[in-house]
């Protein structure tokens, strides 16, 4: 069973860079994880990370740019 993660970022506020850095950090630490990164529809002001658990999307992180960049570890 593969692990899947969905990263949605606020494109209106330019959060694509931090979202992609987060994606790269996850990939470097957890090889084999499938990661889908995409812009939200509309202005959200957050980067939201979800994983698929037992067929359902579960939010594990939903914070702004600074908190996300500081929380990569």
Q: What is the CATH number of the domain that holds 53?
A: 3.40.30.10
pLDDT digits (tens, 9 = 90+) for 7-66: 999 988 889 999 999 999 999 999 999 999 999 988 999 999 999 877 889 999 998 888
Is 39 part of any domain? Answer: yes
- Expressed as residue numbers, the domain containing 9 is 4-68
Banded model confidence at residue 72, pLDDT cuts 50, 70, 90: low
Beta partners for 36? 6
Is 21 part of any domain? Answer: yes
Total number of domains constituting the chain: 1
CA gap 6, 55 in Å, rounded? 13
- 52: which 2 tokens? 């698929």
**Is residue 69's pLDDT more than 90?**
no
Is 73 part of any domain? Answer: no
**Residue 73's pLDDT is what?**
59
């Amino acid at each position: 069973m593969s692990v899947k993660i969905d990263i949605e970022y606020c494109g209106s506020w330019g959060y694509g860079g931090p979202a992609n850095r987060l994606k790269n950090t996850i990939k470097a630490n957890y090889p084999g994880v499938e990661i889908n990164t995409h812009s939200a529809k509309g202005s959200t002001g957050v980067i939201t990370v979800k994983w698929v658990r037992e067929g359902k999307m579960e939010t594990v992180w939903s914070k702004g740019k600074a908190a996300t960049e500081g929380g990569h570890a």
